[in-house]
Structure 1
Amino acid sequence: MSPVAPSPFGRVAAAMITPFTADHALDTDGAQRLAVRPADEGCDAFVLSGTTGESPTTTDAEKEDLIRAVVEAVGDRARITAGIGTSDTRHSVEPARRAEKAGAHGLLAVTPYSSRPTQEAVAHHLRTVADATGLPVLLYDVPGRTGTALTADTLQRLAEHPRIAGVKDCAYDLMKSARLLATTDLAYYAGCDEQSLPLRALGGAGCVSTVANVAPREVRAVLDAFDAGDTAGATRRHLRLVPLIEAMMATETPGTVTAKALLATLGLPGGPPRPPLLPTGPALTAQPAEVLRAVRER
């Protein structure tokens, strides 16, 4: 039995890449192929058009097409959360509404980046997005990319909104996470793979995992073991994943690029990233590919 209540965003969510053709067009057929495998191997949710999904370089229409393709591919087997955030509050409302019409079950709303708004302005932005549809909203707290962290006080106030239901936590601040888990009903998700087990132990709802693009069964097995009361087994499984997490996420090469390169070694679609991201060469792919093989062969 899971130690936390069910969440509208699922438990083990793949932070899915957005596949492109060789000429950088959206590959919806590839997206359907990519979605089926994690769903078959235990992911009960997907987050589309997040950081790993190259949201800054895809259009609103492409984001909508991607949602429709994945919803069609996985049916009712997985919850679909659609990334709709931009730095423009008025603009963010439109993709939110399009995502709802396309069949998404929830929205991922990032704090505005580059403009560095105040906490009150950030809260206004996120409430405006939450007011735009009837879908639950997963806040994306990733100050390393946006330059603006959601403070504990701001999160406390946002938690009072009837549709703000969770946080994708990439803030690297477990004290803040623990405080919000203790004082709100927000569903907390580890947005950094290395924190999936620690956050679950604090009462987190699950994870949004880039590594689940290539090793979904292994990512889920960590939480399954913990939820079954096998904490030692969960720790062993988590530590076995650490070399893969490090190879994919802790280098100068972005996780999106590494994930696409590894999917290619598995014979799965991904295609090139869109500039400014550039594909990695065979030499840089070899070591993560070897680590992935070792993880999946255990």
Structure 2
Amino acid sequence: MDIPVVIYTNPQFQRSDLTLDVIARLAEHPRIGYIKDASTNTGRLLSIMNRCGDALRVFSASAHIPAAVMLIGGRGWMAGPACIIPRQSVALYEFCKAGRWDEAMALQRRLWRINEAFARFNLAACIKAGLSIRGYDVGDPVPPQAPLTAEARKVVEMALRELT
């Protein structure tokens, strides 16, 4: 099978990270064509792009920097908040692809409210609550993760209300 593989690095949750040398070696594998990096370090992303070229296309895993990642040559982002703000996420992507950086940054700044809420609470709980607020009851996060408290849910709800 020729299924493409995405490397996913998330040092915050993995408690370790792949070095640039290891990433460059993995990029040589014919099925590995992408990396989703959650380091939030745009300098690291630029180093990966410089070392790997077109062999490894970069996606941001952090929703707070997608415009910056696209500006330096990234392909996009894969992040939880996009699940609850899909229209705004697509608009941001389209602005970036078209090189409309002023509009992209203005929208990126507006979307920051969602990221502030997500940074305060559990990511899965925020996504689940956000989907529920949007009318998609997907249940609670899987234990040991707890659902948002009523107060935390209000924070997510207010951030979403500001975007619509």
Please indicate the TM-score interval, normalised by the length of the shorter structure: over 0.9
Q: Which residue of 2 aligns with 1:207?
A: 77
Aligned to 1:194, what secondary structure does the other structure show? Answer: coil
Q: C-alpha displacement at 1:264, in angstroms?
A: 1.4
Q: C-alpha displacement at 1:172, in angstroms?
A: 2.6
With CA pairs under 8 Å and 6+ residues apart, which has the higher RCO, 1 or 2?
1
Which structure 2 residues correspond to residues 15-54 of structure 1 after superposition, within 5 A? none
Q: Which residue of 1 aligns with 2:125?
A: 257
Aligned to 2:99, what secondary structure does the other structure show? Answer: coil
* C-alpha distance in structure 1 between counterparts of 2:35 and 2:148, whole Å: 31
Alignment partner of 1:293 is 2:153? no
Match 1:234 to one of 78, 94, 104: 104
What whole-Å deviation, never above 9, does each CA across 1:143-201 have from its counterpart, x for those lacking one?
A: 11111211111111111110110100112332221112123221100101011111111
Q: Which residue of 1 aligns with 2:42?
A: 174
Q: Which residue of 1 aligns with 2:24?
A: 156
Identity %: 28
Which of the two has greater helix per residue?
2
* C-alpha distance in structure 1 between counterparts of 2:16 and 2:66, whole Å: 22
* C-alpha distance in structure 1 between counterparts of 2:86 and 2:74, whole Å: 19
Aligned to 2:29, what secondary structure does the other structure show? Answer: coil
Which structure 2 residues correspond to residues 124-135 of structure 1 after superposition, within 5 A? 133-135=1-3
Q: Structure 1-normalised TM-score?
A: 0.53
Q: C-alpha displacement at 1:281, in angstroms?
A: 2.1
* C-alpha distance in structure 1 between counterparts of 2:68 and 2:101, whole Å: 11
Which structure 2 residues correspond to residues 128-143 of structure 1 after superposition, within 5 A? 133-143=1-11
Find runs of 4+ consecutive structure 1 residues off by over 3 angstroms.
none
Alignment partner of 1:183 is 2:56? no
One-letter amino acid of the counterpart of residue 204, structure 1: G
One-letter amino acid of the counterpart of residue 219, structure 1: S
* C-alpha distance in structure 2 between counterparts of 1:265 and 1:223, whole Å: 24
Q: C-alpha displacement at 1:217, in angstroms?
A: 0.6
Q: Which residue of 1 aligns with 2:88?
A: 218
What whole-Å deviation, never above 9, does each CA across 1:48-102 have from its counterpart, x for those lacking one?
A: xxxxxxxxxxxxxxxxxxxxxxxxxxxxxxxxxxxxxxxxxxxxxxxxxxxxxxx
CA radius of gyration, larger in: 1
* C-alpha distance in structure 2 between counterparts of 1:140 and 1:255, whole Å: 17
| Structure 2, gaps ≥5 residues long | none
What whole-Å deviation, never above 9, does each CA across 1:86-130 have from its counterpart, x for those lacking one?
A: xxxxxxxxxxxxxxxxxxxxxxxxxxxxxxxxxxxxxxxxxxxxx
Q: Which residue of 1 aligns with 2:148?
A: 280
Q: Which residue of 2 aligns with 1:12?
A: none
* C-alpha distance in structure 1 between counterparts of 2:159 and 2:108, whole Å: 14
What whole-Å deviation, never above 9, does each CA across 1:217-239 have from its counterpart, x for those lacking one?
A: 10111121122221101100000
How many correspondences in the alignment? 162
* C-alpha distance in structure 1 between counterparts of 2:162 and 2:41, whole Å: 31
| Structure 1, gaps ≥5 residues long | 1-132
